[in-house]
Amino acid sequence: TRKGSDLYITMDVPMTVAALGGDIHVPTLSGTVKYHIPEGTQPGTTFRLREQGIVRLNTTQKGDLMVKANIVIPKKLTAEQKDMIKKLADSLGDKVSEAKVGKKTIFDKVKDKWN
């Protein structure tokens, strides 16, 4: 979207890049720009790319490109990936619940009826 000469976009950032830091490629009006995401980036964090927006009226100055981080959590994990994340959670002192294998919730039962 646009507000004045500034542009606003939302970019998907993998949770691993948000946690550990890394580079993403951001589309701009003049091409693609590599931007470094700092470690520990939280969902909704907005980064400013200076002078990557639209030219201001009657000047040669450009607005900014505001990039909002949408942290992407994988929907499906392998058993090995789940184990690694559980180990991370344990090391951070986070409480995670074990999935109840074979038990269906009322929502699962309704969904099964409609499929």
Closest by CA position to 26, among listed 17, 36, 15, 39: 36
Q: Where are the domains of the chain?
A: 2-114
What topology does CATH give the domain 2-114?
A: HSP40/DNAj peptide-binding domain (2.60.260)
Both tokens assigned to 95: 């409480």
For 108, phi then psi, to 5°, come to: -65, -40
Mean pLDDT over the full length of the chain: 92
Question: Between 110 and 50, whose confidence is greater?
Answer: 50
The pTM of the full predicted model, rounded to 2 decimals, is 0.78
Closest by CA position to 71, among listed 24, 8, 105, 31: 24
| Segment 60-105, tens digit of pLDDT | 999 999 999 999 999 999 999 999 999 999 999 998 877 655 567 7
**What percentage of the chain has pLDDT greater than the value 90?**
82
As a whole number, mean pLDDT of residues 31-38 equals 97
Both tokens assigned to 38: 């700092």
